Structure 1
Amino acid sequence: MADTDTRPVWRHTHRPPALINRAVLAVLRSRRLHGLLDGQLCELRYRARDGRPVRLPVRYAVTGEGYAVLVGDARDKRWWRRFRRPDAVQVCRGGRCRTGLGRIVPPEDPAFAPAAAAYARRHGVLVGPDDRLLVVKLPAAARG
């Protein structure tokens, strides 16, 4: 019988199980182990529309004004939709949380190109025009 699977092959991995996310977050929060992942992952914290706290491990790149996060498999995820309009978000790395303003930027936005370039340099992944890119702008005092 011929292979009839016509599902598209995605460049990014699919959403990991919640157990994996919890384990990764535990390592990121650990005083002794966070260094194993801090260079690639950070913890993103925000409040869902219903007010509940949300915490996700995400790949990031440092930009001049904050962070860039590529939303892999955006069609299969919902969390990024919270940032279609700018909203408060915390980025936690190395035991330190910084509060900023996160928003999804489209390719025509002036913030897209530098954020996409920073992410591509950091992770060797090209950011396409159909990708979703969360840009977190930090106040100057929180960037250090």
Structure 2
Amino acid sequence: MADSDARPARRHRHGNRPPAVVNRLILAVLRSRRLHGLLDGQLCEVRYRAADGRSVSLPVLYAAAEEQYVVLVGDASDKRWWRHFRRPAEVQLCRGGRCRAGLGRVVSPDDPAFGPAAQAYARRHGVLVGLDDRLLVVDLPAAASA
């Protein structure tokens, strides 16, 4: 292969995208009363309603920073779900058997929120967030008297 044909190496932090059946299994564990504790420290469920009206539920790695959760959209160019949050949108974040409503938005490197969010994620997971990455930041209202 000629040098001009060589493709640059890609950064895959978490491997390739898992099959849908794996995501369904992870969601089942996260929703289980008995088993959710096995994954709650690392994973949570993100739920939202897509523009076409269908419900979307995804297991994601997260980092918590007070009333804010940060999700790295690894290999963002290969995924579509995060584009729903290019403008702030309602989202539910579920962990520990409890769902909380919040507002999610994607932050890119030129957003002032990117630095602190990237640092929180890097501290939690030991993964450097690159300038070509996107972060979903979910702001949850402070736990109020409900």
Q: CA deviation at 1:5?
A: 7.5
In structure 2, relative to structure 1, the CA distance for the partners of 1:112 and 1:65 (3 Å cut) is farther
| Of 66, 69, 75, the match for 1:67 | 69
TM, length-normalised to structure 1: 0.91
Query: Alignment RMSD, CA only?
Result: 1.8
1:1-144 correspondence runs (5 A): 6=7, 8-12=9-13, 13-141=15-143
TM, length-normalised to structure 2: 0.90
Q: CA deviation at 1:130?
A: 0.7
- In structure 1, the gaps of 5 or more residues are none
Which range is displaced more, 88-97 or 60-69?
A: 60-69
One-letter code aligned to 2:41: G
After TM superposition, the runs of 4+ consecutive aligned structure 1 residues lying more than 6 A away are none
Contact 1:66 1:138 in 2 (8 A): yes
Contact 1:14 1:73 in 2 (8 A): no
- In structure 2, the gaps of 5 or more residues are none
Q: CA deviation at 1:44?
A: 0.3
Q: Percent identity?
A: 73
